[in-house]
Structure 1
Amino acid sequence: MPEKLGRDLDPAAVRAWCALALDALGREREEIDAINVYPVADGDTGTNLYLTVEAARQAVEAVFAAHEADGTAPAPADTVRALAHGALIGARGNSGTILAQLLRGMAEVLARGGDGPHLAEALRTASASARQAVAHPVEGTILSVAAAAARAASGAGSALPAVARAAYDGALAALEDTPGQLDVLARAGVVDAGGRGLVTVLGALVEALSGEAPAKGPRARRAAPLPHTAAAPQEPCAASGPAYEVIYLLEADDDAVARLRARLDGLGDSLVVVGGDGLWNVHVHVDDAGAAVEAGVEAGRPYRIRVTHFAADAAKSAAGPAEPTQRAVVAVVPGEGLAALCAEAGATAVLALPGRPPASGELLDAIRRAHAREVVLLPNSAELRHPAAAAAEQARAEGVRVALVPTRAAVQGIAALAVHEPGRRFDEDVVAMTAAAGATRYGELAVAEHQSFTSAGVCQAGDVLGLIDGDVAVIGHDLAETARTVLDRMLSGGGELVTLVLAADAPPALADRLERHVRDRYLAVDTCVYHGGRQQAPLLIGVE
C-alpha cells in the first residue's frame, strides 16, 4: 500500500499520482480498449490514454532527475507544469488529447497551490477548458464525466483527500450514466471508454493522497458488435464517417489556431485542439489527410504528424481486446500521401517533415502502436539509420522481435512493402523485403537553394538537381527535362518497373510526360505513379 503523502498535492504526490495512474491504465488498458465504440469503434482508447499518461510521467520524472543531480527538490509549480506539458506532447487519440487538456487546466490552478480548495478549482478549470477545446461537445463522454467530477469536488469541503474522493465518486456515477446519454453506448451495452479512463486516473489520485485505492465500479464488459443499420445519421463517426485520424503537434499563435479550428471543422469531425502558449496538439478525423496537414502548415509548424487509416482497425471493436498481431510493418514516409498508402496496406506510417526527421522515440512509439510480436522497420532514409537502430533495440528489450531493413529512400520502402507477406516465416519475409529494397535504385529531384559544388559540377540557386542513389548526377534548368535525363541514366542498366512519387506542388502534367517517355523508349518497363502529398522533393524515382 502506498505511503500517505500529506495534506498538499506536492511534487511527491504528483509523482506518485503519475506512477499509480500509469500502472492502473496498464492493467485496464485492454478492458478499456474493448469497450471503445465512440467516436470511432477502433479499440484504442485505453492504449491512447496509457501512452498519454506515460508521456506525462516521463516529463515529471525528468524534473525530479534534474533536481536530484544537485540535491534539491523540484518546485510544485514546475512539477504540475511538467505533468501538463508531457501529456500535451505525448497525447494520443481523441480521449488522450482531451485528457491532456484536462491536466493542463488543472496545472493552471495547482501551480498556485495544492490544497483541497485549489484541487476543486483545478477540476472546474480543467472541465471548462476541455469542453472549450472540443469543437462539438457531446454528452455521455469523458467531458460529462469530467464535469461531474468537478461538481462533486466543489461541494466536498477543504480536506484534500476528501475532495479527491468526491471527484472520483462523482465521476464514477457519471460514467455509469453515460449509456443513457449516448445511444451508441446504449446499443453496445457499455459505458464511455474515455470516461472510464478518466475514472481510473482519478482513482489513482485518490490512492496517491490517501494511501488507499478506492473501490472500483462494476467491471466493464466487451462491447457488443453494432449492426450496420444502428448508426444514427447525426453520429459523427458512423460507418460512413471519415477515413483517417490525423494528429500533430503545432507551433502557432492563438490567431492562427482560431483560423485552423474553423478550417478543420469544415474538413471533418471529432476535432480537438488543445494547448496554448504557442504549442498545440491537434486531433481531427477527416477523409483528406493531406488537407488536414496542409491546414497545419498554413497555421504554423506542424510536427510529429501521425495519420491512421480507420479501415485497418475496423474489426477491432467486434473482436474485443485483440492479441498482438504476429507481424507488422512500420515505415517512415516523406509525405501524407504515402502515409495513407502505407495505412491502406496495413503498415504503420511515420511522417517525416522537411528538415525534421522523426526521433528514435517517435519510431519506438510507432512500433508499440503496431501492437505486433514481430515488426519490420523501414527507415527509408540514410539519416535515420542510427535513430531506427536505437528504436529497434529498445523495442527488442520490450519483447518485440524487430528487423531493421536498411532502406535509404521511400521508393525502396514501397518496393519492400510490395513483397511483404505476413504468412511467411519472419526471416524469409525480411530477406524478401531486403532483397526487393536492395534491387531498387532510387533517385529524386531537388531545387538548389544557393550556389554550391556538387559531384556533377557547380550549381546555381534555382537549378534543378537530379540525384541518383544519394549523389547529384544531373544539373538542369527544367524539371521535366531533368527528370527524363535521370530516368534514362537509371534505366541504362536495365529495369522492369519505374515508380514515380510526385509532390503536391509538382506540375500536373509531369507524371503523364514521364510515363509517356518510359512507354515510348523502354517497351518492357512498367510505370507506377503515387501522389506523395506535401514532400520536400518534387519527384521521387525508383527503378526495380
Structure 2
Amino acid sequence: MPHEPAPQSADELDAEAVRTWSSLALAALDRAREDIDAINVYPVADADTGTNLYLTAESADRELAAAFEDVTRTTAAPSLPEAVRAFAHGALIGARGNSGTILAQLLRGVADVLGAEPDRRAQAPGPMLAQALARAAEEAYQAVAHPVEGTMLTVATAAARAAGAAAGTAADVARAAYDGARAALAETPGQLAALGRAGVVDAGGCGVVAVLGALWQALSGQEPAPEPVRGRAVPVPQPPQPCEAQDLGGPAYEVIYLLEATEVAVATLRARLDGLGDSLVVVGGEGLWNVHVHVDDPGAAVEAGVVAGRPYRIRITHFGDERRRARTERVQRAVVAVVPGEGLAGLCGDAGATTVLARPGEAPAAAGLADAIRLAHAREVVVLPNDSEWRAAASAAAEEARADGVRVAVIPTRSAVQGLAALAVHDQDATFDEDVVAMTAAAGATRYGELAVAERQSFTSVGICQAGDVLGLIDGDVAVIGSGLPETAEAVLARMLGSGGELVTLVLGPEVPDALAARLEAYVQHGHLAVDTVTYRGGRYSAPLLIGVE
C-alpha cells in the first residue's frame, strides 16, 4: 500500500519526513515526466529525462518503503540516518540515464550529512539541511566528468546557495532552496546554447525543482502553488517543433551498469571511460557505483568495468539518429530484447531495439524489463525474452506496462537466434497485430541450437556427460555429447538441417576462433547447397556457439 504523506511540523526533520518527501517527489515527477520528456534537448534529444528521473525516484521510494516495512515487534522504526541512507541507496541502484544518475548523487550528498550518527549532527535542523544541500551539489559536480552550466547541476548549486543564506526552520531552508532552484531554472536557456536554440529550460533542472518542491511540502505541509503550464512541475516555455539545426551527432550507445569496485579502481575507470565517449557520470561510494556513459563501443565500456571490478545490471541502449528524432514525441512502436552478449546487444540495437543485457547466472528481473519498456517511450512494445527463463519476468513486466496504458506483446522466443529472426521481419508500418504475428511466425520457424561446456558430471537425455564435455543442445534439450567444439557443432548442424532449412545463423562466443565459423560455413555449403549462412559475434557473456536454422 502506498505511503500517505503526512504534514510535518515546521522544524521536524526525521525518518517520517524523509518518507513523506520521497512519496511527494515521486508523485511530482510522475505528474511532470511527460512534460519534462517533451523539452529534453541536452545532452541527447531523446525525450527520456522525465522518465529517467521518475524511474530513479521510484527505485529510491521502493528501497525506503522496504526499510519501513522491515520492522518487527522488537525493532523500532528506522532512524533518520537509516531512512536517508536507504533513500539514497535505492536511487543509486535504480538510477537511469544521465539525469537519474545525477539525482542519485544529489541524494547521496544529502545522506552524507543527514545520515551521520546523532553525535555528529549537533546542528539545528535548518542549518543541517542547508549543509546537506550544499554537500549534494558539491558531490554531483564531482561525479560528472565535464560539468556544464545551464544544467541540473547549476540549478542544484543555486538551490544550495539560497538554502545556505536562509535562516530559520528546516521548512524555511527548504522553501529558500525551492525558490532558488526555480529562479536558476529560468536562467538556463541563456547559459546553454542548445536550450536557447530550442527555447526551453533544462529538463533535468525541472526535475530538481520538482524534488525540492516536494521537500518543502513534506516539511511545511504547504503544497507548491499551481504552475502556469498545466501538468508541469515548474513553469517552462511551450516547446517548439524539434529544431532542425540541432546537432544530433555524438556517440551511438548509452551504457549503464552497477559496479562493485574500490575508489582507486574507479578513478582509473573514469579516465578510461572519459577517453571512450562523453556524458560520463560515475556516482556512489563505499564499494558500489553506478556508471553512465555515452560511447560508440559499448563492449569497450563494459570491458573497462570488468577491469575495474564486477559490473552487473548492464543496460545498453542504441541512439540511432532516426530514433532520436522520433522520440522527441512518444513513438508508436518499439521492441525490447533480452540479449546474452554484448555483440548481440549491439546487433539488436542497430536494428532499433532497446536491449537488456543478460549475464550467465543472473536471475531474471521483471523490474529491469519493466524499466526498459518504459524507456522505449512507445505506445506499443514488442518484448523478446530470448530465453525460457526470462519469459515469466517478461510477462510480469508486460502486465506492469499495460497498467500504464502501453500495449505490450511478449513473443515467446527461447533463444537469441529466434529473436534475431523476429527482428528481421519487424515492420513499423504494419499494424501492431500484423507485426506481432509476423515476428512470432519467424521466431517459431527458427530451430535453435547451442553449444555449452559441461561443468560437472550429470545425466542428460542422451547419456552421462563428464566435466569438460561439449554439449550440443537442440531446442533446449541435450542432443549430442562430444569432446571438441567443431565436431559437436557439425553433429548438431547435421541433425538440425536433416529436416530442411534455408538459412543458418551462427553466433560465436568471445573465445571461439573465426576458423570455426569458416569450417561450419564450408560444412553447410558442402552438404546443403541451397542453404545460406550468416555469422555474428555474440561478444562477452554469450554462449560458445548459438545456431539458428530457418
* Offset, 1:273: 0.6
Q: Which moved more, 1:46-55 or 1:334-343?
A: 334-343
* Offset, 1:223: 5.1
For residues 109 and 477 of structure 2, the distance between their equivalents in structure 1, rounded to whole angstroms, comes to 51
Q: Contact conserved, 2:158 with 2:181, CA < 8 A, in 1? A: yes
Question: 1:326-375 deviations in whole A, cap 9, x for unaligned?
Answer: 43322211012222222222222111011104311112222222233333
For residues 424 and 183 of structure 1, the distance between their equivalents in structure 2, rounded to whole angstroms, comes to 39
- Alignment equivalent of 1:455, drawn from 461, 475, 487: 461
What is the match of residue 337 of structure 2?
331
**TM-score, L = length of structure 2:** 0.91
What is the match of residue 106 of structure 1?
110
What is the match of residue 486 of structure 2?
480
Q: Contact conserved, 2:343 with 2:538, CA < 8 A, in 1? A: yes
What is the match of residue 166 of structure 2?
156
What is the match of residue 277 of structure 2?
268
Q: Are residue 79 (structure 1) and residue 83 (structure 2) matched?
A: yes
Matched residue SS, 1:214: coil
- Alignment equivalent of 1:172, drawn from 182, 196, 210: 182
Aligned partner of 1:17: which letter? W
- Alignment equivalent of 1:297, drawn from 277, 291, 306: 306
- Aligned residue runs from structure 1 range 108-507, under 5 A: 108-112=112-116, 113=121, 115-215=125-225, 216=227, 218-222=235-239, 225-228=242-245, 238-311=247-320, 313-316=323-326, 319=328, 322-323=329-330, 325-507=331-513
Percent of aligned pairs with the same amino acid: 68
What is the match of residue 233 of structure 1?
none
Q: Contact conserved, 1:36 with 1:43, CA < 8 A, in 2? A: yes
For residues 94 and 251 of structure 1, the distance between their equivalents in structure 2, rounded to whole angstroms, comes to 20
* Offset, 1:208: 1.2
* Offset, 1:505: 2.5
Q: Are residue 4 (structure 1) and residue 21 (structure 2) matched?
A: no
Q: Are residue 31 (structure 1) and residue 41 (structure 2) matched?
A: no
For residues 316 and 149 of structure 1, the distance between their equivalents in structure 2, rounded to whole angstroms, comes to 34
* Offset, 1:100: 0.2
**TM-score, L = length of structure 1:** 0.92
For residues 282 and 78 of structure 1, the distance between their equivalents in structure 2, rounded to whole angstroms, comes to 24
Q: Contact conserved, 1:415 with 1:433, CA < 8 A, in 2? A: yes
* Offset, 1:161: 1.1
In structure 2, do the counterparts of structure 1 residues 438 and 87 end up closer, same or farther at CA, with 3 Å as the change threshold?
Answer: same
* Offset, 1:156: 0.8
Aligned partner of 1:302: which letter? P
For residues 370 and 188 of structure 1, the distance between their equivalents in structure 2, rounded to whole angstroms, comes to 23
Unaligned runs of 5+ in 1: 231-237
Aligned partner of 1:246: which letter? V
For residues 237 and 360 of structure 2, the distance between their equivalents in structure 1, rounded to whole angstroms, comes to 44
Matched residue SS, 1:314: helix
Matched residue SS, 1:67: coil
Q: Contact conserved, 1:105 with 1:125, CA < 8 A, in 2? A: yes
Question: 1:424-480 deviations in whole A, cap 9, x for unaligned?
Answer: 443343333222222211111112233333333333333322221222222333322
Question: 1:188-210 deviations in whole A, cap 9, x for unaligned?
Answer: 22221111211111111111111
Matched residue SS, 2:223: coil
What is the match of residue 52 of structure 2?
48
Matched residue SS, 1:89: helix
For residues 294 and 236 of structure 2, the distance between their equivalents in structure 1, rounded to whole angstroms, comes to 30
Q: Contact conserved, 2:337 with 2:386, CA < 8 A, in 1? A: yes
* Offset, 1:58: 1.3
* Offset, 1:70: 6.9
For residues 5 and 464 of structure 2, the distance between their equivalents in structure 1, rounded to whole angstroms, comes to 68
C-alpha RMSD of matched pairs (Å):
2.2
Matched residue SS, 2:481: strand
Q: Contact conserved, 1:267 with 1:292, CA < 8 A, in 2? A: yes
Q: Contact conserved, 1:31 with 1:220, CA < 8 A, in 2? A: no
Q: Contact conserved, 1:21 with 1:204, CA < 8 A, in 2? A: yes
* Offset, 1:244: 0.5
For residues 401 and 422 of structure 2, the distance between their equivalents in structure 1, rounded to whole angstroms, comes to 21
For residues 192 and 402 of structure 2, the distance between their equivalents in structure 1, rounded to whole angstroms, comes to 42
In structure 2, do the counterparts of structure 1 residues 218 and 438 end up closer, same or farther at CA, with 3 Å as the change threshold?
Answer: closer
- Alignment equivalent of 1:521, drawn from 521, 524, 527: 527
Aligned partner of 2:40: which letter? N
Q: Which moved more, 1:496-505 or 1:418-427?
A: 418-427
For residues 92 and 309 of structure 2, the distance between their equivalents in structure 1, rounded to whole angstroms, comes to 17
Q: Contact conserved, 2:48 with 2:377, CA < 8 A, in 1? A: no
For residues 397 and 314 of structure 1, the distance between their equivalents in structure 2, rounded to whole angstroms, comes to 26
